[in-house]
Amino acid sequence: MKTTTRIIVTALVLISGINLSKAQTSLQKDSIAMLASYSNEVYYSFTAGQVASVARNQWDIAFRTNIMSSSILVNDGVGVTLYSYPKTDSSGWASAWDTTGFSTWSPLYNDPTDWENGAFSRTATGHPDYGWGVYNSITHDLRGDSCFLIKTRDGGFKRIFIARKISVNNTYIFRVANLDGSNSTEISFACTPYMTKDFVGYDLQTMRAVDFQPAKNSWDILFTKYMSVQPDGTPYPVTGVLNNEGIGASKFAQVPVSYNNWGPQEFDISRSPIGWDWKYFDMNLFTYQVDDSLVYFLKNTEENVIKLVFERFDGSSTGKVVFSRGIVSVVGTPEIDFSTRKISTFPNPACDLVNYTLSSSINGNATITITDLAGRTMSSRNIAVRSGQTIIGNIDVSALQSGLYLIDYQVGTNRESHKLIIQK
């Protein structure tokens, strides 16, 4: 069982910031509504406000569009549940399936903390086994080796087998059939048309794509219903907040609403650093209460630090959430002319050579360093720069393996980092 090389985008642009004092921090109240029974999920941007309110009950499974990913989600917020069929591998797809003992099979849900670890990957044992398939180091494809039983949105059951991901054209081949094996259909599904989104859904009842997400760079957090895990390890449906990939969050408990000191904690860039437990159901009042001693800080897509305080949760009657948010730290202006984007890195993705251009408003020395996500230096060079001069050069990256790196430009104490993808 399997998932292509996991890429978690942790690169943050490292430039000087300006912290705002308590007097300067002004919180603005806002709200969203997921509607009755949480029928919609709401994508939210701290810059633009509500980006999209999307009906949840549209799709059964969703494919991650990243060419280097193999994450496949199930729509667990509406009850879609996946089971690994334990009595045969993919060679038994066409045979009669024995569901004796089904009540003892463990359901597979999406990892509540990681977008890359969808339900189809939860049986992974490590490279090259990625849950639903095995990675081929020559073709970079994944070949399916596991059969699954899936309970769809309507409560019925189907067989499903993810046969292959053809990496070169970002296409999945999968088969779906009724539980008894009838109406077996093979689908070829290309993710390339949906690359501006993180995931694209698929409706197993109508056998069609469902383009349900807004653009991946347009939102910071998602108000939704999803499967989480209770302290005893039991999966349980909850309503809460999920972060877009790369959007960090930190939580401070037992603090006043006026608390602004976000510096002492690192930002958590997992899928659910905010989650659902900022509220609780009061059995005496028979209504939801919000913990008034919790403050969250998030770093959004513009690298500003945002303060978030929840104020009210109305439950399933309207799905309304009331909260306040405001900027506590903004991106500052660097001393050199990086703010006008006179640094560029191309092509990206790169294979053998990566080119760069660099302009500076001062005389001095520039250091260009390529590191992996563990912080290990892969390449480094020093060059002299002059005010008003544009430097053009290239770096040999042919020895680097496919994956995500950081290319860091530094002049004096000023620094800017870019994400660099190596794709062979």
Reply yes or no on whether the pLDDT at 9 is more than 60: no
Reply yes or no on whether the pLDDT at 17 is more than 70: no
Q: Please name the residues in contact with 250: beta carbons below 8 A apart, sequence gap of 6 or more.
A: 262, 265, 266, 267, 268, 273, 296, 297, 298
Average pLDDT over residues 377-392: 83
Reply yes or no on whether the pLDDT at 26 is more than 50: yes
Q: CA-to-CA distance for 385 and 360, rounded, in angstroms?
A: 7
Reply yes or no on whether the pLDDT at 339 is more than 70: no
Q: CA-to-CA distance for 182 and 180, rounded, in angstroms?
A: 6
Reply yes or no on whether the pLDDT at 101 is more than 90: yes
Q: Among 99-108, 126-135, 379-388, 408-417, whose mean pLDDT is lowest?
A: 408-417
Burial (CB count within 10 angstroms: exposed 0-12, middle 13-18, buried 19+), residue 288:
middle
Give the rounded percent of residues in the chain with a pLDDT score beyond 90.
Answer: 65
**Sequence letter at residue 105:** W
Q: Indicate the domain borders of the chain.
A: 17-43+244-330, 61-210, 337-422
Q: Among 7-16, 130-139, 210-219, 394-403, whose mean pLDDT is lowest?
A: 7-16
**Sequence letter at residue 42:** V
Specify the CATH architecture of the domain 337-422: Sandwich (2.60)
Reply yes or no on whether the pLDDT at 180 is more than 60: yes
